Structure 1
Amino acid sequence: MSVRMRRVYEPPEPDDGLRVLVDRLWPRGLSKDAARVDEWPKALTPSTELRRWYHAGEGSYEEFAERYEAELAAPEVAELLDTLRASARKGPVTLLTSAKAPEESHAAVLARLLAE
């Protein structure tokens, strides 16, 4: 299974496979043609409330990850996660985010869960 994270602002690479935008909001200053996004499952992204809480600096990354995993456990969201996991078993999946530090973002939580 091949799941990786990249900033959506980086140019696409041939080995990206399925390119999945995992941000709730479209990245600023980026055209849809330049992004070359294959899927944009907004239901898999952190809720607006959780995103605002984390960006306000009110909690640690570990607490954010726990809260985000709880959101992903909702039945309708878990089904989307399973679908994306199945895609990752078939070929490479690249999770795209505009986060400046993808390793400390929701994309890292998703990547870990997809690898399970």
Structure 2
Amino acid sequence: MGTFRLLRAYEPADGGYRILIDRLWPRGLSKERAALDDWAKDVAPSTELRVAFSHQTEHFSEFTDHYRHELELGSAAAGASRLLEIAEQQPDVVLLYAARDIVHNHGLVLLDFLRQAQAEVAGTMGNPGTAD
């Protein structure tokens, strides 16, 4: 199973299977410089959630709760499942985001969600007494 890591889209490519996780194309970033392998628009927060959060750090906790709900059951759930499938085939999956704030952004929430999902699958596979 591959690992996920997070990188700002404007940083130089450093290998891995590169996936843009933003709904909108990053301003000023050329396709050549992005060096993308995939663009997972559907895993990004909904437009409504993105607009409501508007990168206000005081609302990040609330944003996180709502976005995790979208990843579990909402509009982004299929995209999250697809990323987990990609990680089964790729050893190094690089999630790219464009936000300036490296501490409060949807990429961190998504990374945590995906790693937790992988850990749960690994725990289930490692426990022979677990019912399917």
> Per the shorter chain, which TM-score range?
0.7 to 0.9
What is the TM-score when the length of structure 1 is the normalising length? 0.86
Can you give the 5+ residue segments of structure 1 that lack an aligned partner in the other structure?
none
Which moved further from structure 2: 26-35 or 89-98?
Answer: 89-98
Corresponding residue of 1:97: 97
Aligned alpha-carbon RMSD (Å)? 1.9
Distance 1:24 1:75, change over 3 A: closer
1:45-93 per-residue CA deviation (whole Å, 9 max, x = no partner) reads: 0111111111163952111011111112236632331221132244111
Deviations 1:6-41 (A, max 9, x none): 110111013xx1111011110111111110111111
Aligned length: 114
Larger radius of gyration: 2
Distance change in 2, residues 1:57/1:76 (3 Å): closer
Q: State the match for 1:3 in structure 2.
A: 4
Contact 2:55–2:105 (CA<8 Å) still a contact in 1?
Answer: no
Q: Distance between the aligned counterparts of 2:18 and 2:78, measured in 1?
A: 19
Q: State TM-score, norm by structure 2.
A: 0.76
Supply the distance in 2 between the matched residues of 1:18 and 1:12 (Cα, whole angstroms): 10
Counterpart for residue 13 of structure 1: 14
Unaligned runs of 5+ in 2: 117-132
TM-superposed deviation, 1:2: 1.6
